[in-house]
Amino acid sequence: MRASPILLSVTLLLLLAVAPLAAQPEGPPPEEPERGGIFPRINVYLPEGRADIRLLKPIRNSLFENQIAYNFVSGDISAFLRYKYYGRSGTSTLSFFDSIEFEELEQFSNDFSRTRGGLYLHRRPLDFYNRLYFLAEFDRLSFSNPDIHPDANRTNTYIKVGYQHGTPSDERSNAVVGEARDRIFNLYTAYREIGPRGRGFSLAATYGFDYLGGDYRYVKTELEALQAIAFPRKQRLVLRLHGGFFPYKVRVVDVGVPVDPERATPFLVPRYELFKLNGREELKGYRGAER
């Protein structure tokens, strides 16, 4: 059976076209273009009556971040400016913040407390599931009615060291060992990423000192343990243990300054460091005026 001359010519042209491509050596894969542009990337979260707006600008190994967090129910609002550097051995964060928190709704009060300050956070991973934390922070406390509040115009200077076992994406566990205000609230869910093997553990110790401008002296310990148990039909039971205490605390007062009888004695620790009760969110203690 003779082949058609048209078929032979078409086959010859295809071989001539493919031969130069096969002879060329394979070059390196094209590099991913670096993210650029004038405008940063914007992430907006609106879960459960909250607004969390973040403007992100990555530049090589660094990340610039602006964050505004607002609670529509309580009126609490916070603003953050962060610089994060991702190195070979760890991640460093330099942050400045300004936070305003109003009193409880049942008190029908417009009084609020304001916390301004800065911090340095270093996270050093041991492996993917284990990492160490170091935090140094100073907070300046002010209140809408400073004449009657005992902690008005006081400064809290402290350091925190922590250890974490589990996934690095669990925001609630990261708040225990790292920056407590840097959290992304999940949308209408109590979802948490727990691992490996459904286990997580976080342990932190905080030391507040009354030098370098500090007005408090205390030691705070806090831990959180998680265990997820799988059942048939994709059912899971998550156990959570969260606790802490203050093994050491001393009231620091100015020597030689007379005590104003109209004002109460200062707190042993700042109110925002106390443990509070917020349901599924986190274990806390008592948020009130009692010592």
Task: Give the residue ranges of the chain where pLDDT is below 50.
Answer: 1, 3, 5-24, 31-35, 255-257, 280, 282-291
32 belongs to a structural domain: no
- Residue 162, pLDDT score: 97
10 pairs with which residues across the strands? none
Q: What gap in Å lies between CA 34 and CA 4, rounded to an integer?
A: 53
153 belongs to a structural domain: yes
Q: What gap in Å lies between CA 174 and CA 135, rounded to an integer?
A: 12
206 belongs to a structural domain: yes
- The domain tally of the chain equals 1
- Residue 38, pLDDT score: 57
- Residue 27, pLDDT score: 52
Comparing CA positions, the residue from 196, 194, 156, 162 lying closest to residue 176 is 162
- Report residue 114 as tokens: 């304001």
243 belongs to a structural domain: yes
Q: What gap in Å lies between CA 166 and CA 161, rounded to an integer?
A: 17
237 belongs to a structural domain: yes
- Residue 283, pLDDT score: 36
- Residue 180, pLDDT score: 84
Residues of the domain holding 50: 45-273
Tell me 230's DSSP state.
E
96 belongs to a structural domain: yes
- Report residue 268 as tokens: 């042993």
Q: What gap in Å lies between CA 33 and CA 225, rounded to an integer?
A: 41
6 belongs to a structural domain: no
- Rounded to two decimals, the pTM is 0.75
5 belongs to a structural domain: no
| CATH classification at residue 224 | 2.40.160.50
SS3 104: coil
